[in-house]
Amino acid sequence: MARTRYAPDRGLTGRMVTTMFLIGLLYVVFIGVLLALFQNAWPMVLLLAGGLFVVQFWFSDRIAAYSMGAREVTPQQAPELHATVDRLCALADMPKPRVAIADTDVPNAFATGRSQEKALVCATTGLLRRLEPEELEGVLAHELSHVAHRDVAVMTFASFLGVLAGTMTRFALWGGVARAGGRNNNTAILVLLIPLVSALVYVLSFLLTRLLSRYRELSADRGAALLTGKPSALASALTKVTGDMARIPTRDLRQAEAFNAFFFAPAFSKQSLSSLLASHPPLERRLEQLARISRELGRP
């Protein structure tokens, strides 16, 4: 982690290293299996895998911003938002990221980017309308903690394997198998194997990213609370955002749900409330941690 005033988190660092190693190992195994299955089309496999990696890693911030309808704003367009980010970056002694706003009533925020210099922090109009200045500061400090600890870049890389698995499955089923398989028997085997291998890879990468995602949210809460010295403001924002999420139309929540791993709070639709593999820890656990930090700091 580049030096900032955010409290270091060895637990997060250890989990990120472990996740990167396992995801990298899974990536190598997956590419090896694809090369074995597509022996006659190995240049296409390498080109597709390499191209997707470059796009995912180098353009992930733009892809996420575009998908969420986020637009970068200047200090003249959003003076209060920029002022809060400026103050937090000065407090944390870190470079200021690009600032964006997403026009949606879903109250949330996210950070993306492969480094502190390339980072983007986005707040939704729904969040800006609902939160008090101290609450917004807590949420933005949470997102900047993700940037400072570089777990945003790790999550971007970790999610790449699931994208690759899905793309390779479509590539196989939409014509790649027919060109690379040769005879009909081989083609039939490949048609069965590719989706199975891709599904297995997707499930394993999904589990790894979910385990890391839950811990990194607790780490960001802790980092924000210690940096601002106002854990109660962050707890208030969490309670308010989570409570208001139930009032958002299901259609809007479904559109945002794909980005849960990057959000400040999960945008769960009603159908996914019982999910056992949530991207975020339970609200009660996050509030309990903030209450403990508040007691340690001697704050109300």
Binding site residues, as ranges?
Answer: 142, 146, 217
User: What residues form the annotated binding site for Zn(2+)?
Assistant: 142, 146, 217
DSSP letter, residue 261: G
Q: Tokens standing for 86? A: 């400026």
117 is catalytic: no
Q: Which of 143, 257, 284, 296 is catalytic?
A: 143
Taking alpha carbons only, the member of 66, 125, 126, 123 closest to residue 97 is: 123
Burial 222-245 (b: 16+ CB within 10 A, else e): bbbbbbbebbbbbbbbbebbbebb
Q: How far is CA 275 from CA 213, 251, 255, 280, 289, in A?
A: 15, 18, 17, 11, 22
Angle, CA 62 vertex, CA 56 and CA 67 arms, to 5°: 95
Q: Is 229 left (phi over 0), alpha (psi -120 to 50) or beta?
A: left
Q: How many CB atoms are closer than 10 A to CB 292?
A: 13
Angle, CA 17 vertex, CA 15 and CA 18 arms, to 5°: 65
Dihedral sign from CA coordinates of 256, 262, 267, 268: positive
Distance in angstroms (rounded) separating the CA atoms of residues 198 and 29:
11
Phi, psi angles (nearest 5°) of residue 105: -80, -10
Distance of CA 3 to the CA centre of its chain: 22
Active-site residue list: 143
